[in-house]
Structure 1
Amino acid sequence: MATASSDIKINIPEDPKKEPLIADSSTQAPPKGPNPVVAAITGLLGLLIKLPFWILLFSLDFVGTIITFGWVNALIYQISKGKVRAVPVNDEVSHRWNIKAAKEGLATTPFEGIHTIYALAKRSFETYPEVRCMGTREFLGQHNAKQKHFGETIWRTYAEVGVLANKFGAGLRGVGLVPAAKTTTLKQLETPCSLAIFENTCSEWQIAAQGAFTQSMIVTTIYATLGIDAVIDAVQECKIRAMLCNKTNVKLLMSRIKEMPTLKFIIYTNDMVAPGDNTAIPADANGVKIISFKDFCDTADTAKFPPTPPEAETCAVIMYTSGSTGKPKGVVVTHANLLATSAGAIDALGVRMGKEVYLGYLPLAHILELMAEFGMIGFGCTICYADPKTLTATGAYPIGALEQYAPTIMAGVPKIWDVIKKGVQAKFAAAPPIAQFLVNTAFAAKTFAISVGLDTPFFNLLVFRKLKKAVGGNLRIALSGGGPLNTEVQIFVRTAFGCPLFQGYGLTETCAGLSVQDPSDLRCGIAGVPISACEVKLESCPDITDKNKNPYLISDRVDTAGNKVYGRGEVLVRGNNITKGYYMMEEKTKEEWEEDGFFHTGDIGQFMSDGSIRIVDRKKNLVKLKGGEYIAIENMEMCYGNSSFVDAIGGGICCYGDADMDRPVALMQLNEPVTMAWAKKNGISGDFNAVKDSTALYKAVLADLIKEGLSGGLSNLEKLKGVCFLTDPWTPENGCLTAANKLQRREVISVHEAEFLAVKQKGIFN
């Protein structure tokens, strides 16, 4: 998931006095440098020249802080620092924690008397009938090779969406689907009670899901970027009778229809299909009826098939994972699970009923986006649909979705935030020196101000007012989930856009919700406190050690950095939001779910002194090297990905190590604009291919990666011995990324086998 933009690095240190915030990538490990004496004198003169301007700018900002009573917020922040955010449920020995609000009982629903997603949506359809529910920009075709052309936004109110949902549900009954059983089982479905959705995120996706719920039916999700084999597996396992898909995929489905004998109805959308598109729709064949979404709703008989509401324990979703570790597993989710997570989310995020504008662009087949949209509908907010490549004007004409919709709430995976960060950096890195000086000064001032609870009114007016436009100008809540968030990215977004970027932590098996960072918590690397729907405990991992060679134990009272903690170990969670298990995989379910309800996340965490959770390792992603020591591959990729030479849009960096190696290596997507800027600065001639193969660039990039690793706290064992440059992007379409944009390491290595073997054996490939 990425927007297209150039990647120029801005370094944001925790101490703003240490280094400038806009760093020219050409200064990173060049083959030759200027005379050190001359450089020192030049640097000193530069500081002396800039000093009066620094004093003036900081003075103006200080006066603004006094006038606007910003110091009051600083006092409040200092008083609240160190507050206890979570408390033990029983006692310290049990290592069971949850937030104070849930001490008297875990949350089940955001509204009294509401126990299903159907009832939650129905409440909003009736409470907010005239409020905009969904908006979609009209797609007019390709403007050019990189930009899609969009027209006016088409809006649907809550009343209109409610009518369409009821029609779609009645239509499903009319073509032979039936309500699911009132209670959930992990065994194979015996009746045609599930609608499969094989489509990108769009309003029709959500309306179809809500329509299925009106008739107590199950939604089976399939990532739109997964291959046809994954679709066939899901159809066969869930006995799918009807499927929603995009018009462009109908022909593909029909080409394999004989392998899906239960599939009798294909309902297609025209999402991202331009007017006048001549994509041919195959004729009905093999007993399969093909019909458009509009015609399907228009011909539905709501009088004959009024709503058949589900129960709390009715299965709502069978969500197939994106398949990063083999064949996708179907996670069985009930309405009660979804409601409990919604209740926990509204407690944690402070959503304003009927007032928020949410940008929907992540895959709805991913639990983060699905839960976010269910919550937005349940709380009467507006969802504006887009896709990751058209968030900015780089991929959209005349403007990007962020500028068009100006959302107040936005969720993203770490890669999205990294791409947005680097896109903003690119613009300012190309600005005149005076503008770069001003931005550096503003960032240094605001980074420090935020750390003590202050703001920067003067710099907000001068610099950050323009930066906020990159995300629409109204962003109030920014949430990151789906993986660990890099410290530099978190600080940058918080500083540049004037809103907290905080982490959420969860899995499909926990309905996306496990913990959420308090927006007032300015620490990085914190997963937050458990939401009010669940409780968390830790389990010792005596066979896995940290970088100090100490095992992760629940009896630990300090971490590797000397911070006070209340135990370390694998994170286990139970509560109302914990799903039932894996569809048709009862043995696998027994491996992950304890008899007392606790689910094994596979993540290693620790309880901080205030009750927050910090994730520090991953059991399954630890790799043992030749000397018997473990390295954390995902953490390495997060740290090395900070290098401006790494192209996040192209897929980032893939690290590798095994028992035959003393040290790890990496395959990385090389950022062309940064590389060519470095070459120009350092007198390296030739086109990109020539520069890419130069020894000077290799040394510079490897040095920069190692520098980023050191600043990220990686151990000497995690220091790369070699790296290979690639330029063919990794995407879900070529299998190198999952549909949720997570790295598929095995596939990356398979696709680039020659390069991988060379860098593994020699430490270099060029």
Structure 2
Amino acid sequence: GVTTAWENFRVGRAASADLPCLGRRPIVGGQPGAYVWQTYAEVEREARALGALIATHPGLLAGARAAHAADPAWSITELACFAYDLTLVPLHDTLGVEGIAHIIRETRMAAIVLQSLEVVRKALQDEAAAAASQTAGETAENADASETPASKSTSTTTYEVLFWEDAVTAYAAPEKQPAQRLPVPSSVATICYTSGTTGTPKGAVLTHTNMVGFMHATRFLVAQGHCVDYNQQDVYLSYLPLAHVFERALHTCLYHVGARIGFFQGDTLKLVDDLAELRPTIFASVPRLYNRIYDKVLQAVEAKGGIKAWLFKKALAAKTAALHHPTHPSTTHRIYDPVVFAPVRQRLGGRVRLLLAGAAPLGQDVGDFFRAAFACPLLEGYGQTESAAGLTLTSSHNTWTGHLGVPVPNSECKLVDLPELNYTSADQPFPRGEIYTRGPSVFSHYYRQPELTAAALVPSPDGRGRPWLKTGDVGMWDAAGHLVIIDRAKNMFKLAQGEYVAPEKCETVLARHPAVSQCFIYGDGLQSCVVGVAVPDIDVFLKWAKAHHAEAAFLATEVVPFMKTHGSKGFEVPRALYLDPDEWVVGEGKPATREDGTTAIGADILTPTLKIRRPQAKAKYVDVIATLY
């Protein structure tokens, strides 16, 4: 069977050599055109040429930087490294200049493939980082016109700048390529750096065995009838960051069957246009986007009112009931699907047959809506960077939300007591504890961070099995044996009166309020309550404000009753709330334009998967927090 990521791509290439593999939308006259595709054979040729270039330079590591997964060049760079047993180190803008400098310095990478020199040039000004990097490749399409392929120097070192097309052309002929050193299962495929929600970036070392583990698990589930059979005819829109392992795991699965992957333009605000053009059959996202789509659709329904709103609610109720029928559940309806839900399906291109959600659980109402409206399975999964994405997955036959399925066939999970937080395996009615996992997808160590590795990996009691990864998440096994995430052990804090608070849990509830777009909950051991910052959904909030004429009343009249109704305890509800009109976006200080023409101010608060970086959020709102208390 397939044992490396390069072998995996070659399987897809054998099945789909002359079929589309990677697609992008070129800008013509300032407007995005139709998708232009490279076949599997063309992608392989370009990857081999680029890999040959990188392999001829000294060093074992290659970095790839892109603000978004907005161009096939990112994926081709990854495949180039796989082809020559090189290690890819993603560099994401949200890590910031200091974070990128730290990674370059720590890995001593030999080559950097990038879209723009700006951020990496700043990082290279760090003397130690600059001394460790000799070569940078830049795509000609995005190159600064003032740059030419020549040697550039900082105050301490010289580095060479090459254009992508020139470099690939130079090594296009097979006779110019060095002997290919193929990876083995234990070869390091990538060092995936993440600052997560805390501190300095740490690099999870993932082997080729790790990278293909989730693919093997899903193909087994397909064979057993528990997963939709994704295949050569499928089309996928890639817009989640490829610096994050979740998106790369999905690409690995799609390569295996020879499917096609089209990239978005790089702007999530233009995602609807890309979906309409590509018309994908598979769509993956994080709960925050699913929640936003759900809320927008329901708001539009309420705004229409009358017979249309009545019919939509009737159709949704009928299909939800059919989803949960005890003996004959169904996702389709011969009248409601074409008449009521067709416009909703068009929002994602009109032919999606599989929905995927990761990063956090969806609410039952949201899950019911998407299964009903799209008449297709919605799979939810759980995993981490350190587990190369997938640890658990729901079945395609599942119609209930709130859990994250069962461990995939090649992974094990167990719950370990956390007595200080009152979570134990003896809890009734269901056992609870910190989630530990092990299997072929779990990483080997953090790069040059033995202390962090020792804290994350627990040796097998018998000393012979694989070590267990401590996830930092608190889970529960429900009556059906599904894993339910109930808390986050890593970010929990104790209030002055001794109550433990999981801020992410509070934020998940608050963010479900229609008028709240984003939020941050803060507390510490010196205080007896939590406080919060909320970015309002402008359209919804303005309607509320016009009716109530008092911004200060929003907390008492909306937030408090809403959170308590949705299960929050009194100490989990913010005592004071600050409303910030500036939306948080992924990117370091880069402004983004909303559909209505207003500006979203960039801030390094969000990770690429839209999780909150708590230290950065605290630093941004330190004066606000002091005022709230």
Considering the TM-score relative to the shorter chain, is it more than 0.5?
yes
| Residue matched to 1:631 | 501
Q: Does 1:444 align with 2:313?
A: no
Give 1:408's aligned amino acid. Answer: T
Shift of 1:310: 0.8
Q: Does 1:582 align with 2:582?
A: no
How many Å separate the matches in 1 of 2:63 and 2:618? 32
| Residue matched to 2:121 | 252
Q: Does 1:209 align with 2:78?
A: yes
| Residue matched to 1:312 | 185
Identify the match of residue 740 of structure 1 among 606, 609, 615. 609
Secondary structure (helix, strand or coil) at the match of 2:476 reads strand
| Residue matched to 1:120 | 8
How many Å separate the matches in 1 of 2:124 and 2:425? 55
Give 2:436's aligned amino acid. Answer: L
Alpha carbons 1:487, 1:525 under 8 Å: kept: yes
Q: Deviations over 1:394-435 (max 9, x none)?
A: 636xx6111111111122122222233234344434435332
| Residue matched to 2:394 | 517
| Residue matched to 1:378 | 256
Q: Does 1:235 align with 2:112?
A: no
Alpha carbons 1:336, 1:577 under 8 Å: kept: yes
Cα distance change on mapping 1:619 and 1:466 into 2, 3 Å? same
1:485-504 to structure 2, matched below 5 A, reads: 485-504=362-381
How many Å separate the matches in 2 of 1:674 and 1:631? 29
| Residue matched to 1:294 | 165
Aligned residue-pair number:
589
Q: Does 1:676 align with 2:542?
A: yes
How many Å separate the matches in 2 of 1:711 and 1:234? 45
Runs of 4+ in 1 over 4 A off after TM superposition: none
Secondary structure (helix, strand or coil) at the match of 1:677 reads helix
| Residue matched to 1:195 | 62
How many Å separate the matches in 1 of 2:427 and 2:513? 34
Cα distance change on mapping 1:703 and 1:679 into 2, 3 Å? closer
| Residue matched to 2:562 | 708
Larger radius of gyration: 1
Cα distance change on mapping 1:553 and 1:388 into 2, 3 Å? farther
How many Å separate the matches in 2 of 1:122 and 1:493? 35
How many Å separate the matches in 2 of 1:169 and 1:621? 41
How many Å separate the matches in 2 of 1:169 and 1:516? 34
Q: Does 1:161 align with 2:43?
A: yes
1:177-576 to structure 2, matched below 5 A, reads: 177=58, 192-199=59-66, 200-201=68-69, 202-247=71-116, 249=118, 252-253=121-122, 256=125, 258=127, 259-269=129-139, 273=142, 279-281=145-147, 284-286=151-153, 287-300=158-171, 302-303=174-175, 304-348=177-221, 349-386=227-264, 389-390=267-268, 395=270, 400-431=273-304, 433-452=306-325, 453-454=329-330, 455-544=332-421, 551-558=422-429, 565=430, 567-576=431-440
1:610-649 to structure 2, matched below 5 A, reads: 610-647=480-517
Shift of 1:257: 6.9
Give 2:382's aligned amino acid. Answer: Y
Cα distance change on mapping 1:335 and 1:255 into 2, 3 Å? closer
| Residue matched to 1:150 | 32
Secondary structure (helix, strand or coil) at the match of 1:653 reads strand
Cα distance change on mapping 1:217 and 1:738 into 2, 3 Å? same
Secondary structure (helix, strand or coil) at the match of 1:213 reads helix
How many Å separate the matches in 2 of 1:255 and 1:281? 17
Secondary structure (helix, strand or coil) at the match of 2:151 reads coil
Secondary structure (helix, strand or coil) at the match of 1:471 reads coil
1:60-99 to structure 2, matched below 5 A, reads: none
Give 1:215's aligned amino acid. Answer: Y
Give 2:585's aligned amino acid. Answer: T
Cα distance change on mapping 1:486 and 1:196 into 2, 3 Å? same
Cα distance change on mapping 1:169 and 1:255 into 2, 3 Å? closer
Alpha carbons 1:250, 1:266 under 8 Å: kept: no
How many Å separate the matches in 1 of 2:265 and 2:627? 37
Secondary structure (helix, strand or coil) at the match of 1:230 reads helix
How many Å separate the matches in 2 of 1:675 and 1:250? 37
Shift of 1:332: 0.4
Give 2:46's aligned amino acid. Answer: L
How many Å separate the matches in 2 of 1:588 and 1:677? 49
Alpha carbons 1:130, 1:158 under 8 Å: kept: yes
Alpha carbons 2:358, 2:382 under 8 Å: kept: yes
How many Å separate the matches in 1 of 2:249 and 2:484? 23
Q: Deviations over 1:701-759 (max 9, x none)?
A: 54322233123211122122221111122223221112332112332232233322222
Per the normalisation by structure 1, the TM-score is 0.73
Shift of 1:140: 4.2
Alpha carbons 1:250, 1:281 under 8 Å: kept: no
| Residue matched to 2:525 | 659
Secondary structure (helix, strand or coil) at the match of 2:34 reads strand
How many Å separate the matches in 2 of 1:316 and 1:131? 26
Give 2:5's aligned amino acid. Answer: I
How many Å separate the matches in 2 of 1:296 and 1:489? 48
How many Å separate the matches in 1 of 2:295 and 2:162? 43
Cα distance change on mapping 1:477 and 1:115 into 2, 3 Å? same
Give 2:270's aligned amino acid. Answer: G
Give 1:496's aligned amino acid. Answer: A
Cα distance change on mapping 1:309 and 1:595 into 2, 3 Å? same
For CA contacts below 8 A with separation 6 or more, give which structure has more relative contact order.
1
Give 1:285's aligned amino acid. Answer: K
Shift of 1:255: 6.5
CA RMSD, 1 decimal: 2.2
Give 2:322's aligned amino acid. Answer: A
Cα distance change on mapping 1:611 and 1:482 into 2, 3 Å? same
Secondary structure (helix, strand or coil) at the match of 2:419 reads strand
Secondary structure (helix, strand or coil) at the match of 1:742 reads coil
Per the normalisation by structure 2, the TM-score is 0.89
Secondary structure (helix, strand or coil) at the match of 1:320 reads strand
Q: Report the more deviating stretch, 412-421 or 586-595.
A: 412-421
